[in-house]
Amino acid sequence: MSSGLIYGCMGLGRWDGEALGAADLARAEAAIAAALDAGITRFDHADIYGHGSAESIFGEVLKRAPELRARIQIQSKCGIRLATADSPQMYDLRAGTIRARVHGILERLGTDNLDALLLHRPDPLTPPEEIGAALTGLHDEGVVRSVGVSNMSAAQITALQAHTAPRLVVNQLEMGLHRRAWLEGSVLVNTPASADVGFPHGTVEFCRAEGIELQAWGALANGRFTGLPKEPGDDAVATLLGELARVHDTTPETVLLWWLQQHPAGIVPVIGTTNPARIAACREAGAEPSRLTHEEWYAVWATARGAQLP
């Protein structure tokens, strides 16, 4: 069984700089096993996750089970340089940096190629001609099988595609019930509230029209609607998700993901929890289409926004 979900590996490594140990490996193995049990075969990385340790621990799992590589797809991202004592955090998509980062990714993962390479954030200082040439070269060499972007607008994708031979096939964005600007903007056109929407208008529609897969990072919202409320109104959403889960004989996590997947743009959620039980709770969202009615879908949206639609 293949899944309509992607497992996000940001939580597998260590951000504290401590050396990876047996407990870290066991936790990673348990999370990866739970994802596979849920039918998930696509794994999302970035070279900065755990300062590279997420890829390293994943590579250790692959080393222990080398037959796994043929069963899964691995994508990773580059382009963010974290702050150091000598440098602020910045974005770096210069050709040499992309190439060096990709080879570092491959070394940590212990694999010869990536199924997909995504540019993590736009770098306004590097010309798209240089970025596109780097992506084209890595693709032609077979180092990356496909290329895409993350956190980019339709205009930025268009500018980059003009200088990139392989088609850009992914745009990964923060999308979900907690980050709704991508959705709110579609109905707030010609209203004063539209000025408060920061999401680049038309990006969702552009990606759908161009066949660019929209991947939603942060889709589970760190559990705020399924057990860890953070803001006023979260409890009301959690209650509704629980009620709908009982109606449809599933889990609140599945209802939350169904709500996102039901949008006609074909959004693919990225789930990042390392808790095997929560990963298992998402299984049905990866295996079956949403059973939410039109009315139920809007009820979830209205409850989350806390106000009637215009």
Interior angle at CA 41, CA 52 and CA 150, nearest 5: 55
Identify the DSSP state of 81. Answer: E
Q: Report which residue type is found at 36.
A: L
For residue 7, indicate whether it is catalytic: no
Residue pair 285/5 in contact (Cβ under 8 Å)? The answer is: yes
d(CA 149, CA 165) in angstroms, rounded, equals 14
Please report where in the chains the tokens 């996000």 appear, as a residue: 8
Q: Give the Å distances, CA to CA, from 287 to 7, 115, 212, 225.
A: 14, 22, 22, 21
Note the Cα 80 to chain centre separation in Å.
15
Please report where in the chains the tokens 């709770």 appear, as a residue: 281
Catalytic residue among 7, 49, 91, 298: 49
User: Within 10 Å of residue 134's Cβ, how many Cβ atoms?
Assistant: 23
Residue pair 244/296 in contact (Cβ under 8 Å)? The answer is: yes
Identify the DSSP state of 114. Answer: B
Residues marked as catalytic: 49
